[in-house]
Amino acid sequence: MSLYRNSAWFLKGLTEFTKGGFLSASKNFVEKDLETSMAGRSFMITGANSGIGKATAMAIAKKGGTIHMVCRNKDKAEEARAEIVKESGNKEIYVHILDLTETKKVWEFAESFKKKYKTLNVLINNAGCMMAKREVNDEGLEKSFVSNSLAVYILIKSLIPLLEKSPEPRVITVSSGGMLVQKLRTGNLQSQRGRYDGTMVYAQNKRQQMVMTEQFAKAHPNIHFSVMHPGWVDTPIIANAMPDFHSSMKERLRTPEQGADTVVWLAVSEAAVKNPSGRFFQDRQMVSAHLPLAWTHSSQLEDQKFMSIMEDLASSFQPQ
């Protein structure tokens, strides 16, 4: 990361990504955007038992939406489900247990879901993984890449047919402002070369999500795709993976509900889909996916190469 990118990103973060940034942006929110019933619409949310995912599930459940919580830990998922049901009064909350670092199981889950359920209106890729050191799964793939990128690709790829036959389908991916300091690197997707920096690997994965969203949006115009930055939020992933940042910024971090606001807006509002598909959002506004003069743009050829690599990888683990 260049000194310019680092400095520009941090200064932007202090003014826009904090709790204060949210409160400032929220003055321009149109509250009636969220005054809508979601009864009869179904939502899949990964990582829905804590943080932004749980806050998103709670908000949509209160609007009557059917929620499919995709979580790794059964006990935590069931505890979160009970809390959502109790507070929302909505019993249409379902728990699905899945470890997104296990590629074959992601495929199996998605294919099974398609057979069991007739509709899926909104897919929300929220779950995130930030590793302290490089680890590989049983398939030999780096875990952060699998969880943050390949699993997202597989879920979207597998569930597109179900989404396309459902009314007003949307796919939303929860990203990170960290992607603003990263340019797509197709030559080191598994982080095999150089020193492993979990924070930068995570940021690279988030850039990959942005490219995926842009490319899927072009290929599937009937689905509204979006990526959003929740700001700097007080969540378990920040507390556990970035303890120094968390402790120094704790009073300025957004609440999970504030972080989830734009996810919910993208998932339920009519205003959201008036924006073009395949774009990046922050605080209910479409914003640039690049810092000015940061040279993080990749070529169309590089983006297509990345998607080809993802397709080949994903297909190699697809159940026959």
Catalytic residues: 202
**Tokens 């340019």 — which residue?**
183
Q: What percentage of the chain reaches a pLDDT higher than 70?
A: 97
Tokens representing residue 16 in the block: 């826009």
Q: How many CA atoms lie within 13 A of 176 on its CB side?
A: 26
Q: How far apart are CA 72 and CA 256, in angstroms?
A: 19
Task: Please give the average per-residue pLDDT across 181-199, as a whole number.
Answer: 93
Indicate if the pLDDT at residue 11 is higher than 50.
yes
DSSP state of 309: H
How many domains, in total, are found in the chain? 1
Q: How far apart are CA 198 and CA 182, in angstroms?
A: 13
Tokens representing residue 72 in the block: 């790794």
Q: Which of 22-36, 87-101, 227-241 has the lowest mean pLDDT?
A: 227-241
Q: How far apart are CA 215 and CA 307, in angstroms?
A: 8
- At 59-89, the pLDDT tens digits run 999 999 999 999 999 999 999 999 999 999 9
Beta bridge partners, 125, equal 173
pTM, entire model: 0.95
CB 171 within 8 A of CB 268: no
3-state secondary structure 36-53: CCCCCCEEEEECCCCHHH
Q: Which domain holds residue 259?
A: 3-317
* CATH code, domain with 14: 3.40.50.720
Residues whose CB falls within 8 Å of the CB of residue 77, separated by 6 or more in sequence, listed in order: 48, 49, 69, 71, 95, 97
Task: Please give the average per-residue pLDDT across 52-60, as a whole number.
Answer: 98
Number of CB atoms found within 10 A of residue 306's CB: 21
Residue 44: which H helix or E strand, with range? strand 42-46
Cα separation of the two ends of the chain: 41
CB 229 within 8 A of CB 176: yes
pLDDT value of position 2: 64
Tokens representing residue 254 in the block: 């957004």
Indicate if the pLDDT at residue 25 is higher than 70.
yes
